[in-house]
Structure 1
Amino acid sequence: MSKSSIQQLELKIDGQDASSLAPYRALLRERISSISEYRVQFQGGSELKSEDILFKKATIKITLDGRDKSFHGLVKSFSLLGVGQQGNIHYSVEICPQLFLLGLGEAHDIYGTSGQVDVLDIIKSELTHDQAKSPNKTQSKGRVGGNYAEFRTQGSYPKRDFVVQYAESDLSFLSRLMEKYGIFYFFEQGEGGEKLIFGDSPSCFPPSRDDTQLTFRRASGSISESMNISSFAKRDVAKPAKVYLQDYNWRNPDASLMLDVDVSGPGQGSIYGYGHHFLDKSEGQALAKVIAEAEYCHAHYFEGESDCIFLGAGQQFSQSEHPVSQFNGDFTVTEIVHEISLANSSLDAFEEMDFQTSYQNRFVCIEANTPFKNLAKTPIPKIHGFVYGVVDGDGDGKRAEINDYGQYKVRLYFDLRDEKPASASCYVRKSEVYGGADMGMHYPLLKGTEVLVGFSHGDVDRPIIVGVMPNSKLKSVVIGGNKTSNVIKSASGITVTMFDGDG
């Protein structure tokens, strides 16, 4: 592996004297659509306390060949490693872009009931919580600055009137939505801090620039005086050949939604998915294309080693002078690990510290014109049982609003939002014991009626009213005192009673 000698490694943490922090080793991991992790070991003269370090802004600055690169974030973890022979204390910190804050905690939320939303609307709201209404989110409203993110997305996405976050972190919620629709994110590091970039096509990545126009040079084992790529290899992995998706839209029950998309290149086998929640074939085609592109870009990629500090996840670069012609061209880094060590005679060693001052990295990349799509790896919450809710409605009357499909608005008990009446839910279908064309049975539900809600295929975005539940306020018409009666009683009091005898 090619190595370059660095001139300086700096660590700054808000509230701490930078001159008292002596970093000597760093391992910095970046990956598209993942939270970067920057781990730094350093020596400090005085004893530091975690409450003075955690969540503080921090910067790692590397100086190599007279040029600087900085990595910014917040301190996520802090460790006291030990004490050196001369009494100096050694520490390590893990620094992450502030997006990691969205991975702390667990929440429930519902989007779309006050107006249809798409995935980009949800991302923007989750970043700042400007639209937050749930108490667990309003407490942290604005935790990520409005200027923190930049949207370079070019695609359009379907609008939905009911999108549920259920028992998952905000970051997991956003991650699974982005994986579904083919949106990715990465971080651009500048002098003043990091910038969160959202994209959905290769043109969203910053193109190769002067400091990422790299030459291939085999590793010599000595310290390099220029930035080169020293190792480059191609990996091809077996993958499926086709993606099939199928779904059902009750609004158009006779329409076939079966579709398929080819995965580029040779493959065997297929992926069949049902219940991805698309309303027509064009929506399904877009979802299947995302799956196919994710399979392709994770099965055909390159691995390399270099000493260029300006490579980063989401950065495009150009390689020249490689003896294999197909290895010369433009590529996009999808993940990278930077390794930095700084030999310092003033270090108070407390462990084996036999290393030289150097910088090197290992990276994974794809061809620059290959669409990057993340594999669907974030767990999707499923509700395989039932949840409780209450029939909702606007106005002063007892009657609930029923639309032309016989659907109701339902406020779910896990929903903490203080929405106005009829704004906490989309219209929800109600299961009946008998029905058909111009026939059936339906007893209208009143506002405030407790209902049992199930979910089609466990999908939290597809609720169905499966039954009515009595409670201490809304008691059953049959109780211990009339246990031998079969009773039907309407809201106006019309009653049909069938006495079954004492047997």
Structure 2
Amino acid sequence: MAHTEKSIIGIQTPLGEDELILTGFSGNEGISSLYEFNLEMVSENNSIVFEDIIGKPVAVTVNLTSGGKRYFHGVVAFFSQGEGLPNPDGPLHLTTYSAKMVPWLWLLTKTVNSRIFQQKSVPDIIETIFKEKGLVDFEMRLQNTYSPRTYCVQYQETDFHFVSRLLEEEGISYFFDHMEDKHKLILSDNRAEHKPCENQDTVRYHSSSDGYAEEDTISKFHMSKEITFGKYAAKDFNFEISNNDLQSEVKGKETLGPGDRELYRYPGGYDSSKRGEDLANLRMEVEEARVTRVEGSGNCRDFVSGHTFNLEEYYRSDMNKEYLLLTVSHEAKEPIGYAAGKTGVDAPSYNNAFTCLPSEVPYRPPLDTSKPVIYGSQTAIVVGPEGDEIYTDEHGRVKVQFHWDREGKMNEDSSCWVRVSQAWAGTRWGAMFIPRINQEVIVQFIEGDPDRPIITGRVYHGQNPPPYTLPDEKTKSTIMSNSTPGGGGSNEIRFEDSAGDEEIFVHAQMNMNSVVEANKTLEVGADRTTHVAGNFEETIDGNETRTVGGSVEETINGSETRKISGSVDETISGGETRTISGGLDETISGGETRTVNGNQTKTITGSKTETVVGGITVNTPATYEVTATGGLTMTAPAGVTVNAPGGYTLVAPGGNNTVDSWFQSIGGKNEDFFSIVNQATGMKNEMVGMANCFTNAKIDLAGFVFDRAAVKNDEGPVNIKQIATQMATGTATVLDFALTMIGL
């Protein structure tokens, strides 16, 4: 059994010529959709090897009225052997076979993947997928510019689903061109790429067309219009844009129906105002393409979806114009025996049904392919450049490696920057804990969108155990960091909630700084211990008040230096004992006033030297007594004045006074001297109105001239009176003063 010149349909397979005879086919094709044709065949071979044809390319041919051929090319995705039939052309029985023919793009429905694309445009992503699968028969006829997508995820979806979704989002349609040996996928974003049907750019309307006729015509042609959305609006959010005004809207050109009939979408799927405007226009074009729709049928064998034709001779003249074919359903039959000229055999037939729209209306594929939604949470591992421990950007975002990602290299290229949820997030205030490399984090997806991950938590795992051994340390709660790079240290705030041992523990690996802008109150119920291994420095700009209910004990192993710019006021209710093992050096720039309500005793085991630049004044209502066991020496180059209104007593038994170049005037005084031996060399006494009483006195005057003018001397025992209890100041001795009074 073989094809003849009378055959109107045929098939070419890798099995060889006429191994399979096509008796009919039916199927659908459409813009931005996969075509599928069901083939009915017979063969004299009842044992065709399935592997020889399934997955292989085949071509269906349809003879045209012009003498040419129309091809439907594809891949056999399904092959089935049926029942046997009598062979009208010979003694052998025929075996029926059926097959399903699809485009190579259909093969992508059989590959499910999860992967991440970064910094690639949609055309680049699609080309990558096609070439990875060895699919090279495609052509991109694109006029628009497509910016790279920062982050684009294929998640648990077939390659075909993923590709279709991206094309719909960008407003790119596709269709197929068929040839004898292949079919080519055409991707287009403009009307100019929809070419006229190759052999039927103009078609006549004829209402009675049916079956296989000598002329291809359209027999049914019905136009309809419907009210759809008249306005598209969308809004989205981009945290990097200051005002976050990512709202876009556009009104349609069609004016059917009242009101705006707005279609509002959130999220709009864009991150900039320009992108939002472009997408709004695309979505509005999708809706406007729904307004007018034409359904028709006929026998135009060269009708191909994605191509155009001109309608002629339609009874409504305003509908005689160019149309774009959106879908075409084909059906062809050629009964067995027709090609061989058998009588009683039905004639072959070909019919189709189609939908189209006026070609001046831009066609955009609708968003029919849903985007995967990730429900719930996932976990991922924080990653970054080799050698780094913390890898982040100015927003505190990190990179992660998802467990499902087989292509990631566990480095900074494994994902986009992923935002991190914090306990607080204000304007330069809030909490900040940056996940570190190799930590496991909990990831959720905003609106369930795989392209919008966000980190909402962290979890421990086998390689990153908790900071304390559990369940032994289950009463502890802590925030513990880790020194970086290299580790080995930590800062920590820990809470111990074990009953009776409650504790708050704070550990600083190096420095700890505390800033209190106003007041600070610290209340300690029991003891407080502070240990400073180094130096301790405290600055108080205001006053300091300390109240110690008990004693204060201070031990200073080294020196102590105190600088007080103002005064010091100390009140000691009890006694004060100070022991200074070394020396004491005090410098007082101003005056010093001390009030001792009781007695004061000073014991100096060594000597004492006092230097007073401004003079010394001692006032005491009681007796002032100086005891100098080793003698008393007073030096007064400017002279000595003793004022003793109550008199004075000078007692110097056995004393010996020596006066050198000394002059003394005494007036209005009555002095007694006794038991005194005076030696005066080169001395002159002038006594005016002075009475001296000498009793039992012996005066040796060698070369002495004594002028007794107006002087009366009473001889008798010498009584030396001590004045002011030996001079209250301690700077003049009683003996010296007595000598002055007698002029010696």
- Taking the TM superposition and a 5 Å limit, the aligned residue runs for 1:157-236 are 157-207=146-196, 211-219=200-208, 221=210, 223-236=212-225
Q: Percent identity?
A: 27
2:384 pairs with 1:381: no
Unpaired runs of 5+ residues, structure 2, are 88-92, 484-489, 501-744
* 1:357 counterpart residue number: 348
TM-superposed CA distance for 1:435, in Å, is: 2.1
* 2:324 counterpart residue number: 332
Q: Quick one: distance in 2 between partners of 1:245 and 1:457?
A: 15
Q: 1:241 to 1:354 in 2, by over 3 A?
A: farther
* 1:120 counterpart residue number: 123
- Return the TM-score normalized by structure 2: 0.62
Residue aligned with 1:120, SS = helix
Q: Quick one: distance in 2 between partners of 1:281 and 1:37?
A: 40
Aligned partners of 1:209 and 1:317 also within 8 Å: no
Q: Quick one: distance in 2 between partners of 1:294 and 1:92?
A: 37
Q: Quick one: distance in 1 between partners of 2:19 and 2:191?
A: 43
2:227 pairs with 1:238: yes
TM-superposed CA distance for 1:220, in Å, is: 5.1
Q: 1:191 to 1:347 in 2, by over 3 A?
A: closer
Aligned partners of 1:7 and 1:64 also within 8 Å: no
* 2:289 counterpart residue number: 297
TM-superposed CA distance for 1:175, in Å, is: 0.6
Code of the residue aligned with 2:103 in structure 1: it is P
Q: 1:250 to 1:273 in 2, by over 3 A?
A: same
Based on CA coordinates, which of the two structures has the bigger radius of gyration? Answer: 2
Q: Quick one: distance in 2 between partners of 1:387 and 1:40?
A: 46
* 1:150 counterpart residue number: 139
Deviant stretches of 4+, over 6 Å: none
TM-superposed CA distance for 1:422, in Å, is: 0.7
Higher fraction of helix: 1
* 1:101 counterpart residue number: 107
Q: Deviations over 1:103-122 (max 9, x none)?
A: 1131101001xxx1111111
Q: Quick one: distance in 2 between partners of 1:160 and 1:199?
A: 19
* 1:33 counterpart residue number: 32
Q: Quick one: distance in 2 between partners of 1:24 and 1:357?
A: 9
TM-superposed CA distance for 1:396, in Å, is: 1.3
TM-superposed CA distance for 1:263, in Å, is: 3.1
TM-superposed CA distance for 1:468, in Å, is: 0.8
TM-superposed CA distance for 1:256, in Å, is: 1.4
Q: Deviations over 1:365-399 (max 9, x none)?
A: 111121111221112101121111111110313x2
2:274 pairs with 1:282: yes
Code of the residue aligned with 1:177 in structure 2: it is L
* 2:450 counterpart residue number: 460
Q: 1:320 to 1:313 in 2, by over 3 A?
A: same
TM-superposed CA distance for 1:354, in Å, is: 7.4
Q: 1:298 to 1:91 in 2, by over 3 A?
A: farther
Aligned partners of 1:158 and 1:283 also within 8 Å: no
Q: Quick one: distance in 2 between partners of 1:420 and 1:410?
A: 8
* 2:337 counterpart residue number: 345
TM-superposed CA distance for 1:340, in Å, is: 0.8
* 2:437 counterpart residue number: 447
Aligned partners of 1:6 and 1:359 also within 8 Å: no
- Return the TM-score normalized by structure 1: 0.90
* 2:493 counterpart residue number: 496
Aligned partners of 1:212 and 1:311 also within 8 Å: no
2:9 pairs with 1:20: no
2:264 pairs with 1:264: no
Residue aligned with 2:386, SS = coil
Q: Quick one: distance in 2 between partners of 1:91 and 1:455?
A: 49
Q: Deviations over 1:232-261 (max 9, x none)?
A: 110222312221101111001423112222
Q: Deviations over 1:19-74 (max 9, x none)?
A: 12111111131100111112110111112233222101111011132220111111
Code of the residue aligned with 1:70 in structure 2: it is Y
Q: Quick one: distance in 1 between partners of 2:16 and 2:181?
A: 19
Give the counterpart of 1:251 among 221, 240, 244: 240
* 1:75 counterpart residue number: 76
Moved more, 243-252 or 437-446: 437-446
* 1:45 counterpart residue number: 44
Unpaired runs of 5+ residues, structure 1, are 130-140
* 2:585 counterpart residue number: none
Aligned partners of 1:342 and 1:358 also within 8 Å: yes
TM-superposed CA distance for 1:210, in Å, is: 5.5
TM-superposed CA distance for 1:194, in Å, is: 0.8
Residue aligned with 2:274, SS = helix
Code of the residue aligned with 1:317 in structure 2: it is F
Q: Deviations over 1:409-453 (max 9, x none)?
A: 111111100436211111111000012111111123221111111
Could you say which structure has the greater relative contact order, defined with CA pairs below 8 angstroms and 6 or more residues apart?
1
Code of the residue aligned with 1:201 in structure 2: it is N
Moved more, 155-164 or 29-38: 155-164
Code of the residue aligned with 2:122 in structure 1: it is V
Code of the residue aligned with 1:389 in structure 2: it is A
TM-superposed CA distance for 1:277, in Å, is: 2.4
Residue aligned with 1:124, SS = helix
* 1:416 counterpart residue number: 406
After superposition, the CA RMSD in angstroms is 2.1
Q: 1:27 to 1:387 in 2, by over 3 A?
A: same
Q: 1:285 to 1:22 in 2, by over 3 A?
A: same
Residue aligned with 1:258, SS = strand
Code of the residue aligned with 1:435 in structure 2: it is A
Code of the residue aligned with 1:60 in structure 2: it is V
Q: Quick one: distance in 1 between partners of 2:8 and 2:64?
A: 7
2:395 pairs with 1:405: yes
Q: Deviations over 1:217-239 (max 9, x none)?
A: 22155753212222211022231
Q: Quick one: distance in 2 between partners of 1:74 and 1:474?
A: 52
Residue aligned with 1:481, SS = coil
TM-superposed CA distance for 1:168, in Å, is: 0.4
Code of the residue aligned with 1:153 in structure 2: it is L
Aligned partners of 1:108 and 1:415 also within 8 Å: yes
Q: How many residues align?
A: 476
Q: Quick one: distance in 1 between partners of 2:334 and 2:406?
A: 51
